Amino acid sequence: MMKKKRHQAILQLVEQHEVVQVSELAQWLEVSLETIRRDLSDMQDQGLILRRHGRARCLIQQPATGWMNSLQRAPQL
């Protein structure tokens, strides 16, 4: 499996399960633990996932709180 497709598969699995073990990813994608660890490091550097103690975790999406969003919530005059 090519690196780009593997990263997409990892993202999909992490989004589905929220937290995934490195060993599970290696089994599911049929690659070595080292390959998954390298992929997760790259993906964390890109801000795509969080990596903690042998696990990958999806990033929590923060709600938009910009000025445009606050205008949408303002009462109509």
Determine contact, residues 28/36, Cβ cutoff 8 Å.
no
Q: What is the pLDDT along the chain (77 residues), one digit of tens a residue?
A: 799 999 999 999 999 998 899 999 999 999 999 999 999 999 999 999 999 888 888 875 544 444 444 444 444 44
Q: How far apart are CA 56 and CA 30, in angstroms?
A: 17
Residue 67: CB partners within 8 Å, gap ≥ 6?
A: none
DSSP string, 25-67: HHHHHT--HHHHHHHHHHHHHTTSEEEETTEEEEPPPPPP-SH
What pTM was computed for the model?
0.71
Domains along the chain? 3-58 (1.10.10.10)
